């Protein structure tokens, strides 16, 4: 592929990372009407913290964080030994959680601990709510750490990395820094939905392959460039499931879900539960379609899970060191639709096919 095409691909991912609408609002403040609705639509997740009362100022500050982190990563990669072209492309695709590399072997092309650890850090940051990063950069550490989602995202990433490293150690019966680095890199890449790889996790045994399959259903934080279900939705769902037992024991009690000291509105709770149901339904339907087109069950489930979550690597014929070339042409169309659905949070697309939308407009 020509370098110009590779650069264009990386640039389009970077521009789309925080949403072209947010970019428009930040640079060309022309969307006075409906600006906040568009901003929320382009900052995926059930909540959107506003840094500033004016949407234009919020967008500008988030983009300053986005551009600043991209510049830092570019400088770090360049100093770590990457050439100029590879460094700028990987800085773009890391911060956008796009995961497209300029090399067929992805980040495994550089067997450099410095480069790989650096990308791990910035993949983690790219999957973090950019409002939280803004608070950290402005010295409001306490406010940033108060975020239940950020703590859950960080702790979940750490626990998942340790589990993967332990399972990989038990499978390979060898202990090394590279083993830990490979486990850490793959976990952060999948959870943040970036999609870079440094090793083929499908060769680490069935248990670890299934573990990474489950991680495809996690996703990063709301208000980040990551795809997937999002940590905050999992949090609300688990809290509601736990409190349901309390409601059964105390049917007359008014028990409400709180997150960061605020009550989660019933409308948001309903939205999250319906989202999870539709997400699961889309996964099952997509898997059935892919198997009907001739793919084996493992490859079908892996392809649908990774496309719906915008992760990148899957299982089977679409594993970390493979690609989607062997997927039947109708299957490529189906997976493309799933990628679009997942990236736009399902409802944004599906609402267009409801009669209520057309009646209202």
| 297-322 pLDDT, tens digit each | 999 999 999 999 999 999 999 999 98
206 shares its domain with 329: no
Q: What is the pLDDT of residue 355?
A: 82
Q: Domain check: are 290 and 186 in the same one?
A: no
Could you tell me if 287 and 164 lie in one domain? no
pTM for the predicted model, two decimal places: 0.89
Nearest to 197 by CA among 208, 180, 184, 210: 184
For residues 15 and 163, state if they share a domain. Answer: yes
Examine the fold and report which residue of 215, 240, 259 is the final residue of a domain before the chain moves on: 215
For residue 351, being part of any structural domain is answered with yes
Find residue 115's DSSP bridge partners: none
354 pLDDT band (50/70/90 cuts)? Answer: confident
Residues 298 and 175 in one domain: no
Of 215, 233, 248, the last residue of a domain is: 215
Query: Are 157 and 301 members of one domain?
Result: no
- Number of folded domains that form the chain: 2
Q: Are residues 64 and 163 in the same domain?
A: yes
Per-residue pLDDT reduced to its tens digit, 52-72: 666 677 777 888 889 999 999
Please report, for residues 248, 255, 257, 263, 267, the alpha-carbon distance to residue 245 in angstroms, rounded to integers and kept in the order given.
5, 11, 13, 18, 21
189 is a domain residue? yes
Domain boundary among 166, 190, 215: 215
Altogether, the residues listed in the chain come to a count of 361
Q: Which residues contact 132 (CB under 8 A, 6 or more apart)?
A: 144, 147, 150, 221, 223
Is 226 inside a domain boundary? no
Exposure string of 292-306, with b = 16+ CB inside 10 Å and e = fewer, is: eeebeebbbbbbbbb
105, part of any domain = yes
Structure confidence by residue, pLDDT tens digits, 176-212? 899 999 999 999 999 999 999 999 999 999 999 999 9
For the stretch 69-98, pLDDT in tens is 999 999 999 999 999 999 999 999 999 999
Does residue 267 form part of some domain? no
Domain of 279 in residue numbering reads as 275-360
Q: Is residue 329 part of a domain?
A: yes
**Is residue 104, in this structure, part of any structural domain at all?**
yes
Q: Kindly state whether residues 202 and 302 are assigned to the same domain.
A: no
Contact predicate 117/181, CB 8 Å:
yes
Residues 89 and 167 in one domain: yes
Give the residue from 156, 220, 223, 158 showing the smallest Cα distance to 184: 158
| pLDDT tens-digit series, residues 203-245 | 999 999 999 999 999 999 888 888 899 998 999 899 988 888 8
């Amino acid at each position: 592929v020509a370098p110009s095409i590779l650069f264009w691909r990386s640039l389009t991912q970077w521009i789309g990372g925080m949403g072209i609408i947010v970019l428009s609002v930040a640079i060309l403040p022309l969307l006075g009407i409906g600006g906040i609705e568009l901003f929320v639509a382009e900052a995926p997740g059930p909540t959107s913290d506003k840094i500033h009362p004016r949407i234009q100022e919020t967008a500008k500050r988030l983009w300053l964080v986005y551009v600043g982190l991209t510049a830092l990563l570019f400088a770090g990669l360049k100093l770590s030994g990457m050439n100029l072209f590879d460094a700028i492309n990987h800085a773009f695709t890391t911060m956008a959680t796009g995961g497209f590399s300029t090399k067929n072997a992805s980040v495994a092309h550089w067997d450099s601990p410095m480069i790989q650890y650096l990308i791990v850090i910035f993949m983690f940051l790219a999957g973090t709510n950019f409002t939280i990063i803004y608070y950290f950069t402005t010295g409001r550490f306490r406010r940033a750490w108060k975020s239940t989602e950020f703590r859950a995202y960080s702790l979940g990433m750490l626990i998942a990395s340790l589990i993967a490293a332990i399972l990989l150690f038990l499978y390979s019966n060898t202990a090394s820094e590279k083993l830990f680095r490979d486990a850490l890199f793959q976990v952060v890449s999948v959870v943040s939905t970036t999609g870079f790889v440094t090793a083929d996790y499908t060769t680490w045994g069935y248990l670890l392959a299934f573990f990474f399959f489950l991680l495809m259903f996690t996703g990063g934080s709301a208000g980040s460039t990551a795809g997937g279900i999002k940590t905050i939705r999992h949090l609300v769902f688990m809290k509601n499931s736990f409190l349901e037992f309390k409601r059964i024991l105390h049917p007359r009690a008014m028990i409400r879900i709180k997150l960061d000291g605020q009550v989660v509105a019933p409308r948001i709770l309903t939205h999250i539960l319906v989202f999870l149901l539709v997400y699961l339904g889309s996964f099952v339907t997509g898997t059935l379609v892919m198997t009907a087109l001739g793919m084996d069950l493992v490859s079908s489930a892996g392809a649908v899970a990774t496309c719906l979550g915008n992760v990148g690597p899957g299982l089977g014929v679409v594993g970390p060191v493979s690609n989607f070339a062997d997927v039947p042409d109708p299957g490529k169309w189906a997976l493309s639709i799933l990628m679009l659905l997942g990236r736009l949070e399902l409802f944004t697309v599906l609402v267009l096919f409801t009669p209520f939308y057309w009646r209202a407009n």
